[in-house]
Amino acid sequence: MPKQINLADKIEKSLPSELLILIREAVAVAADKKLRLYLVGGIVRDLQLEHNNFDLDLVVEGDAIGLAKEFVQKAGGKLTPHPMFNTAKITLGKWGIDFAMARTETYDKPGALPAVTPGTLKTDLLRRDFTINAMAVSLNPDNYGELIDLYHGLDDLRNRIIRVLHEKSFIDDATRIWRAIRYGQRLGFRIEPDTLRFLNRDVQFLRTVGGYRLRHELELVLKEQEPENVLVRSEDMGALKELNPGLKGDDWLVSKFQTAREDGKATPNYYLGLLTYRLTAEELAQLTKYLRFSPEQIRIIHEVREFV
């Protein structure tokens, strides 16, 4: 039996004192309500990679909104509940905490938002995008800090691999294609062969996803340190053309993004202007309507087209 890994020391050393105080408050509230509480998602991955990540995603086996309300009563903050999924976002100064009910998700059709039912930590981790994001850390007093790795995410983390949890992952939610490419480029990980085969087979399912969700994924790409690497790779894998056939991830784009950083212009919206610069007016209008660009994004896109 493998040795149990405990990340309590990493939590204490890696997170700012303000976040540690918030975690302790959440643990106390959950214990009072006799609810099991876990730290999940990207922060668990990044704790082990020793990368900074201060996004607190907490999963509770029970009423997440009720827990979040009690947390706010004791610790303060602004509460934004999402009853459809039994999740809540709490904002406290510059910090944010997400509380979510452990759940099971099913998809009526490709690209649809999932139908949610209460579940266990096991089912909640199974619904995640990749094994490296499907680990949890117990925040419960009886085993605080214990790593829970039901789907061999730690092995994939050590082997620098991006792997989906099941064959229909990209069909259920094709935005995972963009995330696979983005994580691969950011972390220097390779996409596992079966996962790559599923991605190539299912890239067409990006058409089933609402434009606003694809815009969100594109915005996350453009916030990366070197987003051109993701865009070049996304063209190679057929994802970029699914947004619009006129978009290119090539040497021209790489050069323009690098120059933007050298000139101090490297913002996500400026990058967006460069990405869309070579579209025809008709192509740009189609993409703007499809992705529902904000007025600010549209303004900067047109500024870049005028001055670059």
- Per-residue pLDDT tens over the stretch 67-103: 999 999 999 999 999 998 899 999 998 999 999 999 9
- Confidence (pLDDT) at 2: 59
Across the range 139-159, mean pLDDT stands at: 96
Decide: 154 and 48 in contact? Cβ < 8 Å.
yes
Answer yes or no: is pLDDT of 159 > 80. yes
Decide: 287 and 279 in contact? Cβ < 8 Å.
yes
Across the range 141-149, mean pLDDT stands at: 95
Q: How far is CA 143 from CA 8, 108, 226, in A?
A: 10, 37, 39
- Confidence (pLDDT) at 1: 45
Across the range 204-232, mean pLDDT stands at: 97
Q: How far is CA 276 from CA 26, 175, 234, 254, 280, in A?
A: 44, 20, 15, 13, 9
Does the 203-307 domain belong in CATH 3.40.50.150?
no
**Highest-pLDDT range among 83-97, 98-112, 162-176:** 162-176
Tell me, letter by letter, the H, E, C secondary structure of 192-216: CHHHHHHHHHHHHHHHHCCHHHHHH
Across the range 206-233, mean pLDDT stands at: 97
Answer yes or no: is pLDDT of 201 > 70. yes
What are the boundaries of each domain within the chain? 8-159, 203-307
**By percentage, how much of the chain surpasses pLDDT 90?**
92
User: What percent of the chain is helix, strand and coil (3-state, nearest 5)?
Assistant: 55, 15, 30
What rounded mean pLDDT belongs to the chain?
95
Q: Which residues contact residue 211 at a Cβ distance below 8 angstroms, ignoring those fewer than 6 apart?
A: 289, 290, 291, 292
Across the range 141-163, mean pLDDT stands at: 96
CA distance 46 to 10: 10
- Confidence (pLDDT) at 113: 83
pTM of the model: 0.93
List the one residue out of 253, 244, 252, 298 whose CA is nearest residue 275. Answer: 253
Answer yes or no: is pLDDT of 288 > 80. yes
Q: Given this structure, which CATH class describes domain 8-159? A: alpha beta
- Confidence (pLDDT) at 22: 93
Kindly give the interhelix angle for 211-222 and 175-187, rounded to the nearest 10 degrees.
10
- Per-residue pLDDT tens over the stretch 36-45: 999 999 999 9
Answer yes or no: is pLDDT of 235 > 60. yes
What count of other Cβ atoms lies within 10 Å of the Cβ of residue 228? 25
When pLDDT is cut at 50, 70 and 90, the band that residue 156 belongs to is very high
When pLDDT is cut at 50, 70 and 90, the band that residue 26 belongs to is very high
